[in-house]
Structure formats: structure tokens, C-alpha cells
Structure 1
Amino acid sequence: MPRTSQRGGPETRRRISDVATRMFLDRGFDEVTVADVAREAGVSSVTVFKHFPRKEDLLFDREEDAVEILRAAVRDRGPGVDVLDSLRRVAFGLLDDRHALSGVKDGSIPFFRTVAASPALIARAREIAAELQRTLRTLLEDDEEFDGDAALCAALVIAGYASVLTETARRVIEEGMPDPVIEDHRARVTRLFDALRDGL
């Protein structure tokens, strides 16, 4: 049995997440407890909850990455660069990098299937989308160069991208790999931002 540790830090967080993800994908989210994860990772349950307040966040561990991506897209764009253009570039950058948040990362099918099989994970995914929407709205409200409707823009961007990701995940599972879906994903991201441009 692994020795239980109370230590924290980024390495501990990553180890806990990696162990939890492997266990969830192997056995199913609902079949694995936080205590199971803690034991396998060699930490206490208290340590797990210190890093991940919710069990669902052991699998959804990229919310902070998504927040930073949105923040950079809004705050770090060049002078005179439109917010929608910046967000569009970010979306295509994620696709080109085959980033996990693009939906076309290699090896993503077990993750998609695990999420689809768990009502708790589906509910948490919706909560995260709502949190990202609030984050983007705040960023737009604080942006001196943005003169549109921050609430509406944030809602449409996040809901639209979530819809694209959901369809991409469905298609990736259907095809058995991401490669055949990439150009369709690219086309739908293009249509999304074209529609946002026309509508906003």
C-alpha cells in the first residue's frame, strides 16, 4: 500500500489527477470513490479535497487552463484587435495544437465515453460552462475597448463553443479517432465565429 502523504503542491495535484483519471477511465466515474483515489495516489482524502473540492474536478482538471486562455484572449490581444477575432484565433490555435480543450486530442475517446456515462459529470460540465461564461462576461465588462453587450457575447461564445465540442466528441467516438473529424470541427468553428460576427 502506498505511504499516505499530506504534502501539497503542483506535483501532488498532478499525481492525484493522473491517478484519478486512470481509475475513472478504467472503472467508470461512479465506481471509484475519493478514498480509492487517495489510497492509490498515496495521499489522504483531505489532501485530495484540498486540491479538488469536488470529485468531478478530479477528471475536469482543465477549468483553470480555460480561464487563463479566455483571460489571455481578452487582456493580451494587441491594440485594436477585436475580441471576437482574438477568441477565433485562440479556438483555431487549440485545434492546431490538438489541445485537450479542442476536442480532437489523440486518446480522448475514453474520456468522452466516461463523461457521457455519468450524469454527475455531465452536470458538472454544464456548471463549468456557466462559470466560464461569467468569467468571460466580467473580462468583457472590464475591457475598455469592448463596446458590445458583454453578457450576450459571453453567453453566445461559450454556449456556441460548447455545442461545437459536444458534436466533435460525438463524431470522434463514432469515427474511432479524431483525425477524420478535424476538418469538420474546423468548419464548425468557422461557422460559429462567422455567426457571432454577423449577430453581434
Structure 2
Amino acid sequence: MAEELSLRERKKRETRERIADVAMGLFMLRGFDRVTVAEVADAAGVSVNTVFNYFRTKEDLFFDRQEAAVESLGRVVAARAPGESAVEAVRRDFEAALDQRDWRYGITGGAPDFFRMVTESPALSTRIREMGALREEYLARVLAEETDAGPDDPTPRLVAAQLVALTRTVSEEFLRRRLAGERVETAVPAARAAAGRAFDLLESGVGDYAVKATSSQP
């Protein structure tokens, strides 16, 4: 039974990924607003109902990793090492993402194409702003839980706002350079330098906030 469930879940995951990949290919080719869900279903070889079984809205097809994007900073903070602060954890993760050209901070070779598609669609522009707000809200909840902050303590929200703004601003600087024609090979080091300066500033202010306790030695 467990093996059957695992196989069923794997097939569902593969179907979801195939639909999302087909949809993104169509969106890149023709633009988000010019592609219908019916066309995505036809190209993926599934019914429209099947598409909506996996994706609640057309925007969810585009932002198929929305949940991971919204929760990413909060998960990084929650998983920080003993003795590591929230700012240090995000800094470490951001630098690792730069090294790996990981998608989670938007510093990838395909960022300009992604940006153009978003800005060309009012629906996608609205959704990405909503995702930013949700990301900040989720991180604030994690920080409040990790520091046992009371409901009247605004510190988790303030720190979350600063961390989200930092990562967004550095990502936007990378995108600005790419849209101006700069190559990834030079835009990434520039983003790394900007992030270094920004994290230094933040660490001088809230760098000792939410340091995870170390286990006491016997």
C-alpha cells in the first residue's frame, strides 16, 4: 500500500511539473496574457479540469513555486545553526544562492525574461507584490516564534521587513544590470558586493537579533 501511494504521489508530482513546464514555455513564447488555460492543457496532453486540480488559478501556473518562494526566508531562519543569528543565516543562504545561481533570490541568467513577462501582465505584477507581502509576513511569524516575542512586540516585523527589503533590493540591482546589457559573469559579482555592504549595515544594527541558543555542555 505504501509503495502504491508513493508511486501515485510521484506520478502526481511529475504531472504537475510537466503542466508547469509546458505552461512556462508557452508564456515565454507568447506572453502570459495571450495564453489560455485550455491551450496549456492541450499542449500538456491533459484536460482543463486536470490543470485546475493542480493549479487553482492561471497565475499559479506561472508562479508554480510560490509556496517555496514565500516560505524560503522563514525556513532559512528556522533552520539556522546554534549560535547563528537570523541575519547571519540569511546572509549565508544568499551567498550560497549566488554561488549556485539558484532561483530563490532571482539572481539567475533567465531573470530578465522572467521580469519582462511579469511587467507585461497586470495580473502577474499584482501577484508578485502579494508574494512579497506574504514572504515578509511569514518571516515575521517565524522570527516571533523563534524569539518568543509577544503579540505587541513589533521587532519581528521590523527585522523581517529589513531582510526582505535587502534581498529584494540586491536582486533588483542584479536585474537592472542585466537589463542594461551586462553579462551574468559581471552582474553576479556586483550583486555579491552590494549584498555584502547591505548585510554589513544590517548586522551592525540587528546582527545580534534571534541568535539561536547553543546546547549546554554537561
Query: Aligned partners of 2:180 and 2:50: how far apart in 1?
Result: 38
How far does residue 189 in structure 1 lie from its aligned partner after superposition? 1.4
Change (3 A) 1:190 1:148: farther
Alignment equivalent of 2:187, drawn from 172, 181, 184: 181
How far does residue 120 in structure 1 lie from its aligned partner after superposition? 1.7
Specify the code of the residue in structure 1 equivalent to 2:189: E
Where in structure 1 are there 5+ consecutive unaligned residues? Answer: 1-7
Runs of 4 or more off by more than 4 Å in structure 1?
A: 145-148
RMSD: 2.3
How far does residue 116 in structure 1 lie from its aligned partner after superposition? 2.3
Give the total of aligned pairs.
194
Change (3 A) 1:99 1:173: same
Query: Aligned partners of 2:16 and 2:182: how far apart in 1?
Result: 31
Query: Aligned partners of 2:201 and 2:47: how far apart in 1?
Result: 48
Alignment equivalent of 2:176, drawn from 170, 174, 188: 170
Q: Establish whether residue 54 from structure 1 lines up as the match of residue 48 from structure 2.
A: no
What is the DSSP-based 3-state SS (H/G/I as helix, E as strand, rest coil) of the residue aligned with 1:79? coil
* Correspondence for 1:24: 27
What is the DSSP-based 3-state SS (H/G/I as helix, E as strand, rest coil) of the residue aligned with 1:143? helix
Provide the TM-score with structure 1 as the length reference: 0.86
Provide the TM-score with structure 2 as the length reference: 0.80
Query: Aligned partners of 1:102 and 1:137: how far apart in 2?
Result: 18
The superposition leaves residues 131-188 of structure 1 with CA deviations (integer Å, 9 ceiling, x where unpaired) of 1111101110110478981011111211221222223223212226422201111112
Change (3 A) 1:104 1:56: same
Query: Aligned partners of 2:18 and 2:82: how far apart in 1?
Result: 40
**Does the 8 A contact of 1:161 with 1:192 survive in 2?**
no
Q: Establish whether residue 127 from structure 1 lines up as the match of residue 127 from structure 2.
A: no
The superposition leaves residues 13-56 of structure 1 with CA deviations (integer Å, 9 ceiling, x where unpaired) of 10111011100000011101112111111222222222222212
Change (3 A) 1:88 1:23: same
* Correspondence for 1:70: 73
**Does the 8 A contact of 2:26 with 2:40 survive in 1?**
yes
Relative contact order (C-alpha < 8 Å, sep 6+): which is higher?
2
**Does the 8 A contact of 2:177 with 2:187 survive in 1?**
yes
The superposition leaves residues 89-117 of structure 1 with CA deviations (integer Å, 9 ceiling, x where unpaired) of 01111111001223332334322221222
Where in structure 2 are there 5+ consecutive unaligned residues? Answer: 1-10, 207-218
Query: Aligned partners of 2:85 and 2:154: how far apart in 1?
Result: 11
* Correspondence for 2:118: 115
**Does the 8 A contact of 2:71 with 2:135 survive in 1?**
no
